[in-house]
Structure formats: C-alpha cells, structure tokens
Amino acid sequence: MTEIRASTVLPAIRTPVTVPTADRLSLVGELALPGARAPVATLICLHPLPTAGGMMDSHVLRKAANRLPAMADLAVLRFNTRGTASEHGTSEGEFGHGGSERHDVAAVIAYAAAAGLPRLWLLGWSFGADLALKWGNDPAVEGAILLSPPLARVTDADLDGWAASGRPLVALIPALDDYLRPDDARARFARVPQAEVVGVDKARHLWVGEPYVRIVLNEIVRRVNLRAWPLPTEWKD
C-alpha cells in the first residue's frame, strides 16, 4: 500500500480533447476515465481566474483528475477557457471577463453529453464557480459543486434560475476566504432552497495543503458517488 500524497497520479485512461465552441474557437482539454470500469458520473471542471494564474491544471482540479477516476469511478473533464494556457496547451480566443466564456461552458457541456458521459456535474472553482452559476444551469447538468465562489459576477436572477431548476448546488466555503465567507455565503444562497453551504474551518480560497484537498475531494464524492465515500488515504499498487 502506498500513501496518497499531493503528487500521486493513479491509473486512468487520459485522452487530450479539443472542444469547439459556437463562436468557432477550439478549447484544449483532457478527459480522464476509469481504467477498468465505466464511469458512474462526470465532473466538468471550470477553473479559477486565468488572469490570476487559474487554468485546467490548477492543483485541486489536477488532483481530482489524478485520483477520482481510480478511487471513485468518476470521469473528469478539464479544459482551458478561451485564451487560457497550461502545460496541456492554449485555448484559442481571448479572456472574456466571464461573459464570452458562456460559449465555453455551453460547448464543454455539449461535448460531454455528445460523448455519452453519464450524470454531468459541474465542478467550479472561484471564477469557475461563477461561470457555473451564470452559464451552467443547463438541462443536461445534474448539479454543481462550487469551490470558493466569489459571486462577483453572479446576479440574484442567476441564483433564482438555479432555485427554479431544482438542481442541487453544493458550495464549499473556506472559513478564511478572501472574497466570500460562510455566513455571507449562506445569506446569498438563501435564494436557492436546495443549496447546501459547507463551511470549512481554517481553509483559504486556494485550498492549499493536502488536508484541504482531501476535504474537497471527499465532499465531491459524497455527493456524486456515495458508494466510494470516504476516499482511502492509501492505494494498493
């Protein structure tokens, strides 16, 4: 047995993907699938703010792709929004301040649906959480898990749309977040009766540190594939 560490990469089928948008851009991404079984659900990852270094390889999303296909039978679809670069490549276009990225969100949801991936869940972190709330309320989506949502771009109308949809929202809010802390988050999400706000003691906006990554991944799996929860801390080689 090997302890799962920050650098651990577990077995999966990892395939580079290119996602076309309605406004004729190509987005670079990666689809990670369980190696031995069909996935039971899918995480569509929306990354933090690219102008502050956010990308598909931001550490929580990378670790989700490195671990959850093997540990929880989840498909993990990551991509760079327009104009964003990572080691996987650079997506075409320019940063749209959360506006033109609506095409990116629509495109990746459509890509996942066309690929026959099961039970689509959005996993949005920071800027990506705002994108999920603004543009991800789609009939093909089962629900959304939000990490450190700043709600900077999100209107009451966006939240009311989620409320009307009945789709589950789970918001993981660091107690020491720089932008939105648990009490304020509960007040904002009160417009969405089905929203669940989970405050995480001592955590910060970027979820730095393996203990906080494990909390995030366990909260994801608890909602999306309860049979795989709690996640192990060791892996049989």
What pLDDT score does 188 carry?
A: 98
CATH number at residue 174: 3.40.50.1820
Q: What is the pLDDT along the chain (237 residues), one digit of tens a residue?
A: 899 999 999 999 999 999 999 999 999 999 999 998 999 999 999 999 999 999 999 999 999 999 999 999 999 999 999 999 999 999 999 999 999 999 999 999 999 999 999 999 999 999 999 999 999 999 999 999 999 999 999 999 999 999 999 999 999 999 999 999 999 999 999 999 999 999 999 999 999 999 999 999 999 999 999 999 999 999 987
Distance of CA 107 to the CA centre of its chain: 15
Report the number of distinct structural domains present in the chain: 1
* C-alpha distance from residue 91 to each of 20, 87, 94, 217 (Å): 10, 11, 9, 26
Question: Which residues form the domain of 188?
Answer: 2-235
pTM of the model: 0.98
Cβ(154)–Cβ(132) below 8 Å: no
**H or E element, residue 71:** helix 59-72
pLDDT tens digits for 88-122?
A: 999 999 999 999 999 999 999 999 999 999 999 99
